[in-house]
Amino acid sequence: MSTATAPIPAEPPPFSPGRIARAIAAFSGLPGQIIKLAFLAATNGLAVWAAYVLADRKHWVALPILIAATAAIDIVYLAPRKWTLPLKFLVPGTIFLLAFQIVPIVYTIEVAFSNYSTGHVIGKADAIKAIQVNSLQPPANGRQFEIAPARDASGKLVLILHDDASGAVYVGTNKALTPLAKADVTISKDTGQPTAAKGYTLIKGAELFAMDAQLKAFNIPTRGGSAIQTQGVSQAVELQPTLRYDKAKDQFVRISDGVVFKDNGQGSFVSSVNPKDELEPGWKTYTGLHNFGKLANNPLYRTPFLKVFVWTFAFATLTVLLSFAIGLFVAIALNKKGLRFQRLYRSVLVVPWAMPGFLSLLIWAGLLNDSFGVVNNKILSHFGFTVPWLFDANWAKVSVILVSVWLTTPYFFLVSLGALQSIPEELTEAARVDGGGAWGIFRRVTLPLLLIAVGPLLIASFAFNFNNFNNIYLLTGGGPYTGSSSIAGSTDILISYTYKLAIATGKGQDYGLASAVAIIIFFIVATISGTAFFRSKALENVN
C-alpha cells in the first residue's frame, strides 16, 4: 500500500472553492466555539448516561475506562496547554480508530486462542448447571403426580400435587416440595386431580391455558438433584439426574454405568471411555494454539483450508496480472498521437471501473446464470454449446477471474496509459535508431520504465484482491460446493471462508477458528504490503 504525498493536478477544480471557503470560514470564531462546546457537552452527557448504565449492570472494567477517557477528552479540549493542541485534532479520529479498528484486532487475537463457538459460549459454572438440567430423565418407576396450579396468599404461582401411588399431597414451589395435610386438600374421585386446597386459590379456565410456557419452566427441586417437572397443566413427573457432578474432582459421573466425564481442557467434559462422547453444552475457554493446530493437522480442516489458501493466491495473482496485461495492451493500442476518437474510447473503456462494483457483480452473476443467463442463452447457444459458468467447480473459478479482470482492467488501462505517455519519446526513438525491433524496444525500454511507475500499484492491487470479498461472495457465494462436509466452497478465498466460519454457515459459528484464519490473513497481507512499503521508500516521506 503506497501512500505518499497526494499530487492534485494544478488545474482549476470542477467547482468554485470561493463559496465553500466562505461557508467554512463562517464556522470559525464564535460559532465554532459554540459548536465545539455543544459537542463537548453532548459527549459528556452521553458519557454520564453510559456510566449510569454500566454501573447499573455492574460492568466494573468498562466503567473506569469510560470515566478516564471522558476526563481525558475534557482536559484536552478545556485546558489550554501547548501539548494538548495536536491532540485536539487527533482525538476524534483516534477514538473511532481505537474502538473499531484496534479493539477488533486485539479481540480477534484473543478469540483466536479460545474455543469460542456455538456450544462454547457460556462460562464453565453456567455450563455445569446447564449439563445438570439437561441430564434430568424420567426414571423407570418414578413418582407421578396429578397437579393443580394455584396461587398462594401472596399471589405467587405454586403447584398442588397429588401422588397417585401413595395418595400423599404436597405443595411445590420452584424452591422446594412441602407435604400438606390430607385433610386440607380435596381430591377429585374420578381424575385424582386436586380440586381445592386450604390457603390456596386454584387457577382455572382461560388463565390456566395461558400459563403453558410458565408451567413448562416450573421446576420443583427434590432430594438428590432430582426435580419435578410439569407435563401439561394437569400432570407432573419426578425426573432424576443421569449424571452426578463431583465438585472435588471436577468431573461428571454417569449414574447408570459409572462412566466418568473429565474436563478435557478444551472447554468440554469428555467421556473417559469414548473421547468423542462430549457433554453439551461446553464452555468458553482458552485453548492456546488449538485452532491453528486444527488448520495444520486435522484433515477435516486442513484440506479445505489449504485449497482455499492456494486458490486465494491464484485468484489474486491471476486477476492482477491479466488485468495489467490487457490494460497495458489496450493502453499501447490507444497511445498514438492524434488517434481519432481517443478521448471517447478512453471514457467508455473505464465504465466498468466507474460503476458501483457490487451491482456489476450481481449483474454478471445473472448474465452467467447457467439456465437463464444471456451468455449461455443468447450467445453460446448459437454455437451449439453452453458452459456451466457458475455450477462447475473449475468453470466457476474461471468466471470469478474473468469478472474480476473485467472490473480491474480499466484501472490498469488508465494507469498504464498515463505512465506510457510520460515516457520520453527520445528514449524509444533512440532505441529504434540503434536498430531495435518493436518487441525489443517494448521489452527492454518501455516495460522496465513502466514497471517502475506501475510496480507498487500492482502490489497494492494484489493486496486488495487478496481480500476481495465482494468479487467472490456476490458472484458465486463461494460456491459451488463439491464436498458435503465442508464450509468452504470451490471459489472461497480466505476472507470469505472466515466470514462463513464466523457468521454465515448452517453448521454453527466458530469464532475461534474464524479469528485464527483472520490472523493468518493479517500476517500474509502485512508481509506483502510491508515489503512493498519498505521497497517504495515511503518511509522517507514520513516527515
Q: Which is nearer to other proteins, 269 or 309 (CB)?
A: 309
Q: What is the CA radius of gyration of the chain?
A: 35
Stretch that binds other proteins, among 10-18, 180-188, 260-268, 285-293 (CB under 8 A): 10-18
Evaluate whether 208 touches 160 at the Cβ level (below 8 Å). Answer: no
Q: Which is nearer to other proteins, 100 or 209 (CB)?
A: 100
Site mask for other proteins (CB under 8 A), range 472-501, x = bound? -xx--------------------x--xx-x
**Rounded to 5°, angle at Cα 529 from 528 and 532:** 90
Q: What is the DSSP string of 226-276?
A: -EEEEETTTEEEEEEESEEEETTTTEEEETTT--EEEE-SSSSEEESS-TT
Q: Which is nearer to other proteins, 71 or 102 (CB)?
A: 102
446, 461, 490, 491: residue in contact with other proteins (rule CB under 8 A): 461
Q: How far is the CB of 41 from other proteins (least distance, A)?
A: 17
**537 contributes a contact to other proteins by CB under 8 A:** yes
Sign of CA dihedral 528, 534, 535, 540: positive
- Cα 391 from chain centroid? 26
Q: What is the DSSP string of 491-511?
A: T--HHHHHHHHHTS-TT---H
Contact set for other proteins, span 498-527 (CB under 8 A): 498-499, 501-503, 511, 514-515, 518, 521-522, 525-526
Evaluate whether 445 touches 437 at the Cβ level (below 8 Å). Answer: no
Q: How far is the CB of 279 from other proteins (least distance, A)?
A: 25
Q: Which is nearer to other proteins, 59 or 124 (CB)?
A: 59
Residue with cell 451468455: 375
Spatial neighbors of 398 by CB under 8 A, at least 6 apart, are 389
**455 contributes a contact to other proteins by CB under 8 A:** yes
State the amino acid at position 109 in one-letter form: I
140, 452, 484, 506: residue in contact with other proteins (rule CB under 8 A): 452
Spatial neighbors of 290 by CB under 8 A, at least 6 apart, are 113, 115, 266, 512
**Core vs surface per residue 16-29: b (16+ CB within 10 A) or e:** eeeeeeeeeeeeee
Q: How far is the CB of 15 from other proteins (least distance, A)?
A: 8
- Cα 372 from chain centroid? 33
Q: How far is the CB of 133 from other proteins (least distance, A)?
A: 24
**406 contributes a contact to other proteins by CB under 8 A:** yes
**48 contributes a contact to other proteins by CB under 8 A:** no
> 478, 480, 485: which is closest to 499 by C-alpha?
478
Site mask for other proteins (CB under 8 A), range 359-388, x = bound? xx-xxxxxx-x-xxxx--xx----------
Which pairing describes strands 219-221 and 227-231: parallel, antiparallel, or unpaired?
Answer: antiparallel
**536 contributes a contact to other proteins by CB under 8 A:** yes
Contact set for other proteins, span 89-148 (CB under 8 A): 89-90, 92-94, 96-97, 99-105, 107-108, 111
Contact set for other proteins, span 199-228 (CB under 8 A): none
H or E segment at 528? Answer: helix 511-535
272, 381, 422, 482: residue in contact with other proteins (rule CB under 8 A): 422
* Rounded-to-integer distance, Cα 129 and Cα 243, Å: 11
Stretch that binds other proteins, among 20-28, 141-149, 212-220, 480-488 (CB under 8 A): 20-28
* Rounded-to-integer distance, Cα 501 and Cα 494, Å: 10
Q: How far is the CB of 443 from other proteins (least distance, A)?
A: 19
Q: How far is the CB of 117 from other proteins (least distance, A)?
A: 10
Evaluate whether 295 touches 501 at the Cβ level (below 8 Å). Answer: no
**279 contributes a contact to other proteins by CB under 8 A:** no
45, 64, 86, 167: residue in contact with other proteins (rule CB under 8 A): 86
Q: Which is nearer to other proteins, 2 or 195 (CB)?
A: 2
Q: Which is nearer to other proteins, 83 or 224 (CB)?
A: 83
**15 contributes a contact to other proteins by CB under 8 A:** yes
Sign of CA dihedral 151, 157, 163, 164: positive
Q: Which is nearer to other proteins, 196 or 398 (CB)?
A: 398
Contact set for other proteins, span 339-358 (CB under 8 A): 339-343, 345-358
**401 contributes a contact to other proteins by CB under 8 A:** no
* Rounded-to-integer distance, Cα 463 and Cα 124, Å: 41
Q: Which is nearer to other proteins, 170 or 364 (CB)?
A: 364
Site mask for other proteins (CB under 8 A), range 305-344, x = bound? ------------------------xx--xx-xxxxxxxx-
Q: Please tell me whether residue 355 adopts helix, strand or coil conformation.
A: coil
With CB under 8 A, what is the number of residues at the site for other proteins?
144
Q: Which is nearer to other proteins, 101 or 201 (CB)?
A: 101
Q: Which is nearer to other proteins, 273 or 359 (CB)?
A: 359
